[in-house]
A and B are shown apart, each in its own frame.
Chain A
Amino acid sequence: MSDDMDFEEGGAVKKFMFVNRKAPYGTIYALEGLEVVLISAAFDQDVSLAFLDDGVFQLVKGQKTDGVEMKNFSPTYRALEGYDIEKLYVERESLEARGLSEEDLLVDVQVMSAAEMGDMMAQQDVVISF
């Protein structure tokens, strides 16, 4: 409870990680997660995004959604920098299983091993999954 009070007063900065594990268009999770990330930027917290499993597909270059009549929200990932959200972590094993590499991604990210991703998660105060 005291932690919540610190948050209200704006005194304490916590480490928030948003974990993205879903492909972008098959479910609403990726878009909803991105909306929450953008909202979180207003609270001046230490925000990072993790992409693993099918979540890495969210960052693939060249998405063109005209044919499926859905919003192409992939350019928004490039705008995160403007909200001071610059910590984007991608798990290497997830990329490799999907035939992808860092060059296939539309934004600068830090590619790391599963073990390093686990370490990063363990350091967080709050982990929110989409």
Chain B
Amino acid sequence: MEVLNNLLTGFGVALTWQGLLYTLIGVTVGTLVGVLPGLGPSATLALLLPVTFGLDPTFAIAMLAGIYYGAEYGGSTTSILLNLPGEAGSVVTCLDGNLMAKKGRAGAALGIAAFGSFIAGTIGLIAFTFMAHPLAKWSLSFGPPEYSMLMMLGLVAAASLSRDKVKGLVMAILGLLLGTIGTDTVSGSERFTFGIANLMSGLSFIPVIMGLFAVGDIINNFTETSETGASVTGVSYRLRDLLPTREDWSYSIWPIIRGTVVGFLLGTLPGSGAAVAAFLAYSVERAVGRRRQLLGTGIIEGVAAPESANNAVTAGAMIPLFSFGIPGTPTTAILAGALMMYGLQPGPFLFVNHASFIWAVIATMYIGNVMLLVLNLPLIGLWVQLLKVPFYLLAPVVLVITVIGAFSVNNNIFDVWILLIFGFLGYLAKKNKYPVAPLVLGMIISKKLEQSLRRSLLMSLGDLRIFVSSPISLALSILVAVALLATIFSFFKSKKGVRTQGA
């Protein structure tokens, strides 16, 4: 089979010592940031982008992807041991995971989280392997009108997943606007540069992303006294105690499978993240699980389902990125930025023009999942020790990396100022509950969306009906309209919500 052949070739690259090394670094760093609360995968990816500059693109993307799915493994550790979610995807795991730890079953909870993550990650990857290329082929038949509508759908979906959908839309449009800064690719005229030479080639993604995610988060932490001072006692990290019993397995296997399906499907939808998937998987267990009435009292299903789901999401989320070129989550948006940094346009053409690259990256993901399972169980004790690193030591290190990283994008101090400006804006956005992910998404697809829109209108000589002329574009247009109407509807509903609350 063609897919298996391609994958085998990919393994040839992935199994070289560099492939193994960078995958290992990726998944280890990923687990680390998953464990450390307050430093999420998006911020870390943004942080490490500049460090990957000198690398071969295959290994760089393998490492960055490793951080992404590795973080979902690590997040469960602190949820279970400290009732403190390491990252957003593991919030639900606290419910049953921490109660299990209090009952003395921390080992089994940690174990099933790791096994569940491995099973879900691998099944998700297999699905991704077989779906990605056919979907990419299909998306190659899309013309500019279809692409325009697909990108709009992605943006609206990303925006509408935030709690305040209007704020999400505002951020998405601001992102599109930021993406227009620089020389217009079609006409060659300068836009919004205000005579600043450094802006002529556009605003660099990296300082903006690092500013919004990493610097904004750190500055926000300054104002929240987060003295963890975590201490975990009385937990055995010996391998024997981490292996779930036969009984645990019989309770967990279906939640793991259901979590995988929920997570993978949600991952393919733009805008949904690990947190939503984990929460939904938990809700599914509450509805159909064998011991659903016991959920929330510290049973193993409550760990197995969400931890599987948040890992399956990472595999599903690769589909919009690699098959359609439209990243659906903040983390894949940063991956898209990284691809573009290497001159690789995310999307279906990767399978055509850079087949060896894409299959090698996919192969490293299989290896990374195995590495995570083998390495992390014995290392849990070490991760818990690392939690004791105080924030006042972590903060300067992170900030120094961002400043030097921003500089190294163009070897220019101008990008460092951009970093600081967007760091402050990221802090303001966070404090006022404006989601930054739609902004990053908008900025990354801005040029592509504008080009497709203008090309579509060129094809039709300005006739807007081109966006509903083919079945695909018609369907996509309807979806965009429905999503937009839902946004407006939600704004009326929230008004009603306030009205009825006091009654």
**Are A and B a genuine interacting pair, yes or no?**
no
